[in-house]
Chain A
Amino acid sequence: MEEDIYKQFTDQLRSCQPQLKAKKELRKRVLNSIVTRSRGKKRLIVFLRSVASILLMLGIGSYAWMELSSQQSRSILISKTSDCISIPDEHWQCRQSISTLISSLKESDVFLFENNKVLLTKGELKDLKQFNNALYQMVVCFLHGLENNYPTVYQAYLAGEEIQLSTWQLRKEYKVCDWLTY
């Protein structure tokens, strides 16, 4: 009995086919919607492209403006940077000069030379003036710098104490290159 009722019910549902009344109308509506949505999609793509183009133009514009407006300050900065770069060259030249000075002092045989150091005294400097005036002028120039930058050392020298000079001391202790650069 139960089976029959259920079977009758499903049979009836199957036999009663729901009817789509306006087939042509549905087809027309679907195709119209497809066209409309596709147009909407195209419009969206056009809109997005326009927005992207505007953003790109703004980006390029602001970059160009920044480049132009900051050109002066950048050129100043570049010139400063170039100066900084040239300093090592000067230091290198200075090191060369210091080495030449020390070896010239050593070769002059006027001063005592111990452990790669020239022992400079006030009395022996007078002898140097007689033998090598050019070298004497260089040492005087150094002593002048010493007087300005290290007055106590210079006072000690004047008092008759010896000054030990090596390339390392001239560069690192007395910072001769800094006197020359600035």
Chain B
Amino acid sequence: MIKMQKKANDILLLKSIAGDKSAFGELIECYCDYLFSVVFRLVCNEQEAEDIVQETFIRAWQKLDGFDQSRARFSTWLYSIATRLAIDTLRKQQRRATLDLDVIQVETNDVHQQLTNKEIGELIRQATQKLSHQQKVVFVLRDVEQLNVYEVVEITGYSEKQIKDNLYLARKNIRERLMNVIGV
């Protein structure tokens, strides 16, 4: 089933490279959910995440001629564009005045509770607000999205060592923050 889906996506991709906009529209529908989830977890803002996803697809269309299927998967290529745009947005966010909420207000103990986008964003923002951009990107891609190191290298352009170091610092920081919240 997965193989069939992949083959169908490959055909859509080839049609898109040939200039077929409707095929590209199909690709947008295939990848927008996952792309949105990655971007949203990075920027923690629904509107900005939607804008980034939109811009990602527009840039992908513009650069589609230069995409080499033998070098990278289409999804990885899309994530790399989206991640770079998200990092730019994080930088802009940092420049803006941010509210420093010291208490994670969302209940984190209930694993099965389905949260709204706003609540998820707030949860991530509060847990990761002390992280650098690199640490946040590595944390989201490795521990939340569970991508392997090589995929993260390809998406972000960071070295394996950078990923390892940043992930260590991110985990440590988040753990401390969670411990403070529950008062252990």
Residues of A within 8 A of B (CB): 1-2, 5-6, 8-20, 23, 26-27, 29-31, 33-35, 37
Q: Is the CB of A13 within 8 A of B54?
A: no
Q: Is the CB of B117 within 8 A of A5?
A: no
The docked-state distance in angstroms from the alpha carbon of A2 to that of B181 is 12
Q: Is the CB of A26 within 8 A of B108?
A: no
* With known contacts A17-B37, A20-B32, A37-B58, A27–B124 Cβ distance under 8 A: no
Contact residues of B between 38 and 55, Cβ < 8 Å to A: 40-41, 46, 49-50, 53-54
Cross-interface CB contact of A5 among B114, B146, B179, cutoff 8 Å: B179
> How many interface residues does B have (CB within 8 Å)?
45
* With known contacts A5-B182, A8-B109, A18-B41, A30–B174 Cβ distance under 8 A: no
Q: Is the CB of B40 within 8 A of A5?
A: no
Q: Is the CB of A27 within 8 A of B32?
A: yes
Residues of B within 8 A of A (CB): 21, 24-25, 28-29, 32-33, 36-37, 40-41, 46, 49-50, 53-54, 57-58, 61-62, 108-115, 117, 119-121, 123-124, 127, 143-144, 146, 171, 174-175, 178-179, 182, 184
Residues in B with CB closer than 8 Å to A8 are 108-109, 111
Give 9 closest A-B pairs by Cβ, nearest first: A18-B40, A20-B36, A30-B57, A16-B115, A5-B178, A27-B28, A16-B120, A18-B37, A6-B175
B7 to chain A, nearest CB (A): 22
Cross-interface CB contact of A31 among B21, B115, B117, B184, cutoff 8 Å: B21
The docked-state distance in angstroms from the alpha carbon of A42 to that of B33 is 32
Residues in B with CB closer than 8 Å to A14 are 144, 146
Q: Is the CB of B28 within 8 A of A9?
A: no
Q: Is the CB of B117 within 8 A of A12?
A: no
Residue of B nearest to A37 (CB): B58
Interface SS, B side: helix
Residues in B with CB closer than 8 Å to A11 are 111
Residue of A nearest to B176 (CB): A2
The docked-state distance in angstroms from the alpha carbon of A162 to that of B58 is 104
B26 to chain A, nearest CB (A): 9
The docked-state distance in angstroms from the alpha carbon of A11 to that of B143 is 9
Q: Is the CB of B53 within 8 A of A20?
A: yes
The docked-state distance in angstroms from the alpha carbon of A139 to that of B106 is 128
Residues in B with CB closer than 8 Å to A17 are 33, 37
B47 to chain A, nearest CB (A): 11
* With known contacts A6-B171, A30-B54, A31-B24, A15–B144 Cβ distance under 8 A: no
B36 to chain A, nearest CB (A): 4
Residues in A with CB closer than 8 Å to B184 are 1, 5
* With known contacts A18-B40, A26-B53, A34–B61 Cβ distance under 8 A: yes
Q: Is the CB of B144 within 8 A of A2?
A: no
For this complex, 6 residue pairs linking A to B, each with C-beta atoms less than 8 Å apart, are A9-B108, A9-B127, A10-B143, A13-B120, A16-B119, A18-B36
Residues in A with CB closer than 8 Å to B175 are 2, 5-6
